[in-house]
Amino acid sequence: MPSNIRPEDRIILLVEDNPDDEALTLRAFRKSNVSNRVVVARDGVEALDYLFGTGSHAGRDPHDVPQLVLLDLKLPRIDGLEVLRRIRSDERTRLLPVVILTSSREQQDLLDGYGLGANSYVQKPVDFAKFLQAVEQLKLYWLVLNETPQFAT
């Protein structure tokens, strides 16, 4: 996808297994006027299937690649760190911006996330007003200001 794509046309892949956190994130997106299409993957397998057009996403349009992945760590089937490892090890996705968005406060998760190539690590604030501020900052930087390369499909 060309880097001159309009910010509102950029796809966000939200990888989140907790329905409450998913709803909170989507609500924060709406309140922050994030008009991007959001694809939700509820476990690591679904995230990888979407990214690589396999499994249940085998027929997806190859141009529907996300411009940003918001990745939880504590996921069923395949955890977030393994998802990140696979994203970074594949030529098609190795440059894809990945922001870890997690409630984990474990220092080892932080170290592992950056060690595997996360672009950013954001701890989910419990307070909705603070979470809304975090989403505003994510929106401004990752969806408006940041330039991303074209990804192979």
Domain regions of the chain by residue span: 8-143
Amino acid at position 36, single letter: N
In order, the DSSP letters of 85-106 are: HHHHHSTTTTTS-EEEEE----
Q: Which fold has domain 8-143?
A: Rossmann fold (3.40.50)
The pTM of this model reads: 0.85
pLDDT tens digits for range 2-55: 445 565 567 899 999 999 989 988 988 888 888 888 999 999 999 999 999 999
State how far Cα 18 lies from the chain centre: 15
